[in-house]
Chains A and B, each alone.
Chain A
Amino acid sequence: MGQSYLRFWGVRGSHSAPFDTHLKVGGNTSCVEIRDRQHVLICDAGTGIIPFGESIMDEQDINELLIILTHYHWDHICGLPFFLPAFSADWNIRFFGPGYSAKDIETHISAQMRAPYFPVGTETWLANINCLEPTNTGITHGPISLSYKNVHHPGLTYGYRITVAGKDVLYVSDNECLYLKKSVQQEFAHLNDEERTLYNEMQKEEHGMELKLLEDADILIHDAQYTSEDYEKKKGWGHSCYVDTVNTSIDAGVKELYLYHHDPHYDDDAIEQIHEHAIQIIQHRRSSMKCHIAREGLTVEL
């Protein structure tokens, strides 16, 4: 393994899926490690952060981490109560995520670790823990730099652009693509001509913002939770249909796409079918974009 890489520790959305029919793709919830030499960045703290924490404890030359959170839904933070480095005195861990202040971030992180939901609170964490203040100027972690934007998901949710080893890696775990377009299509019959013109323009603007968020990513890790059939039932839940993820990524000039945040109801075969169809869409559009399934344990050299 090289000095700079990313590794998927958890790839599921919503809840873990520890079923033998699902384990070729993986059962843990969101967690991706991005590393440049000894500098380690963790994206989200779902159950995938638990095996990551056990693994990193064996590396004697690392005792610092930056953990960035897209938001505070359970599948993105529920590994923290079992995250070994937090309970070890010789570790320095910085957190960043949506919030009005560092204190606000700290409150969100610690809220799940209290009685009666958990036997001990974050006061039992022995590591030196710091939450970062919101910033407009970006965040650095050694040679890794990152910025964030608001995305289409319930509450404050961030998508991150991470510059590492000369590449732009985008981590957008939860994002509902083309939402306004679909809402306008639903309501079109009830709108008058003036409103149709207005909303057509508005959806173009919103799509332009979506493309700007993703544009020219070397690697995009993006929400692809639903099939078209399931999305019809779950529009407005804050997740994308993989077809929209693929098409939007092509439009944004993404070089390599990892379909991520898989629905826990989809077994390995179902996700293979999603991948096959995604490849067909890319070929049909004559795009050179590469597309992969994010799988637990998969390591990508940067």
Chain B
Amino acid sequence: MLMGESKKIVVIVDNSPSVQSLIMRGTQGLDIELKSFDSAEGAWDYLQSNQPDLLFLGVLMPDKDGITFLKELRDSALHKDTSVVMISSKDYAQDKIIVKELGALDFLTMPMPISAVTNMAEKYLS
């Protein structure tokens, strides 16, 4: 990294501490700054004024679900093109179609090896 160049920002939004640990573990070897939020509402303050380089977004959250939150993000000018990877144990074909229509780049289905998170982050941060 060149002097003065800031680290890439990766954000994870998921209510599950284990999912947050999985993303943390999968990205720990990368030169990034990771920010974790446990709900869409909790992430909203940050995302209103910041565009991360990559956003991992959980689908099945108890309050606002990830699909609705992704729609809201896409409605804001700042996040029209934000790179988003959905993450869930809920991996039905219909979910994948909906999030693809909302411009999600990919869908990580749990359980997957930690290396899958690393590969996904490297792919979309490069």
- Interface residues of chain A, those whose CB is within 8 Å of chain B, are 100, 134, 136, 149-150, 152-156, 179-180, 183-184, 187, 190-192, 194-195, 198-199, 201-202, 205-206, 209, 212, 236, 238
Beta-carbon contact of B62 and A154 below 8 Å? no
In whole angstroms, how far apart are the Cα atoms of A184 and B111 in the complex? 6
- A201-B18, A205-B16, A206-B16 known; A154+B94 contact, CB < 8 A: yes
Residue among A100, A150, A212 making CB contact with B60, cutoff 8 Å: A150
Q: Please, how many angstroms separate the alpha-carbon atoms of A134 and B69 in the complex?
A: 13
Most chain A CB neighbours (cut-off 10 Å) among B16, B21, B98, B110: B110
Most buried by A among B25, B62, B72, B89: B89
On whether A152 and B62 interact (CB within 8 A), knowing A180-B110, A198-B21, the answer reads: no
Q: Smallest distance from the beta carbon of B1 to chain A beta carbons, Å? A: 28
Task: Name the residue of chain A whose CB is nearest to the CB of B90.
Answer: A152
Query: Is there an interface contact between A199 and B113, defined as CB atoms closer than 8 Å?
Result: no
A298: shortest Cβ distance to chain B, in Å? 31
Which residues of A lie under 8 Å from residue B91 when comparing CB positions? 236
Q: Are A183 and B18 in contact (CB under 8 A)?
A: no
Number of interface residues of B (CB under 8 A): 28
Q: Within 8 Å of chain A (Cβ to Cβ): is B93?
A: yes
Question: B5 contacts the other chain (Cβ, under 8 Å)?
Answer: no
**What residues of B have a CB within 8 angstroms of the CB of A201 in the complex?**
17-18, 21
A-B contact count (CB 8 A): 73
Given A100-B71, A199-B111, A201-B18, decide whether A150 and B62 contact each other with a Cβ distance below 8 A: yes
A29 CB, nearest partner CB in chain B, Å: 19
**Nearest chain A CB to B89's CB is how many angstroms away?**
4
How long is the Cα–Cα vector from A187 to B111 in the complex, in angstroms? 7
Q: Is B63 an interface residue (CB 8 A)?
A: yes
Contact B25 A236 (CB under 8 A): no
Q: Which residue of B lies closest to A209 (CB)?
A: B62
Q: How many angstroms between the C-alpha atoms of A199 and B110 in the bound complex?
A: 8
A194, B67: Cα distance in complex, Å: 29
List the A side residues contacting B92 at CB < 8 Å: 153-155, 236, 238
Give B62-79 interface residues, CB cut-off 8 Å to A. 62-63, 65, 67-68, 71-72
CB distance from A196 to the nearest CB of B (A): 9
A198 in contact with B22 given A155-B95, A179-B89, A183-B89 (CB within 8 Å): yes
Q: Is the CB of A179 within 8 A of B67?
A: no
A150, closest chain B residue (CB): B65
Is B19 among interface residues, defined by CB-CB distance under 8 A? yes
Q: List chain A residues, Cβ under 8 A from B62.
A: 149-150, 209, 212
Known interface pairs A150-B60, A184-B111, A238-B92; A156-B67 also in contact (CB < 8 Å): yes
Contact between chains at B95 and A202 (CB < 8 Å): no
Q: Does B61 contact A (CB under 8 A)?
A: yes
Q: Which residues of A have CB within 8 Å of B111? A: 180, 183-184, 187, 191, 195, 199, 202
Residues of A within 8 A of B93 (CB): 154
- Which residues of A are found within 8 Å of B72, using beta-carbon distances? 100
Known: A100-B68, A134-B68. 7 other contacts (CB 8 A): A152-B90, A153-B92, A154-B93, A155-B92, A156-B67, A183-B110, A238-B92
**Min CB distance, B114 to chain A, in Å?**
6
What is the chain B residue whose CB lies nearest that of A180? Answer: B89
List of A residues within 8 angstroms of B110 by Cβ:
180, 183, 199, 202
CB distance from B13 to the nearest CB of A (A): 15
Complex alpha-carbon distance, A238 and B91, angstroms: 10
| CB neighbours of A152 from chain B (8 A) | 60, 90
Residue in contact with A195 in the complex, picked from B61, B63, B89, B114, CB distance below 8 Å: B114
A-contact 0/1 string along B76-106, CB 8 Å cutoff: 0000000000000111111100100000000
Within 8 Å CB of A184, what residues of B?
A: 111
